[in-house]
Amino acid sequence: MDLRHRMSSSRLHSGMFFTLCAAGVAQTGSAAFAACPLELAVYGDAESAAEIDFRPTGGSAVVTNTFKMVLDNGVVLDGIVMWTQGVARPHGSLMYKCPTGDVTGDELAACTLWEGVVYSADDKGNIALLPAEGVDAPKTLIFPDLGPSLQMSAAYGANGFSKLPWDVFSLKGCQE
């Protein structure tokens, strides 16, 4: 091998080394970012129409996750997740201006804008069910048919929110 070929090869290996180091630092940074516990995670959709802020559930025996979905025009939806019996699934509900105290099933149904299974996905695209709090926040959350359900609600339109979120939310940060 001549000297020019060795120098060129050496530069190539050095470049690859620095690229790999930079990738490692980036992964380390994202790993630190991913270490946010789910109960403090903040998510946003691709259209910037909504943000989800998780909150600690406060030791509820039934509710495994609590969150707020913040939409435009100051509309805030209350969200909860409870695992179903039988075939266990994280069943999410988004509610708007629900009455408090003794509430009937009909009253809850009237103020519930979306219900469904909440899925999560990692950075490799592996789909899973939303875990209960106490674990690292997943990279992505999926709320199937969220936009169409919200569009049919009384909270959408002239007196409510005007932007419809997409079904997929990405981890944006962690609350302090």
pLDDT band at 176 (very low <50, low <70, confident <90, very high): confident
pLDDT band of 89, cuts 50, 70, 90: very high
Q: pTM above 0.85?
A: no
pLDDT of residue 78: 96
pLDDT band at 110 (very low <50, low <70, confident <90, very high): very high
Residue 55 has pLDDT above 70, yes or no: yes
Distance of alpha carbon 85 from alpha carbon 122, whole angstroms: 26
Mean pLDDT, to the nearest integer, of 76-101? 94
Residues ≥6 apart with Cβ < 8 Å to 81: 63, 64, 65, 66, 67, 90, 91, 92, 93, 118, 130, 132
Based on the number of CB atoms within 10 Å of its own CB, is 41 exposed (0-12), middle (13-18) or buried (19 or more)? Answer: buried
Measuring CA to CA, how many Å separate 3 from each of 11, 12, 13, 17, 148? 12, 14, 15, 21, 65
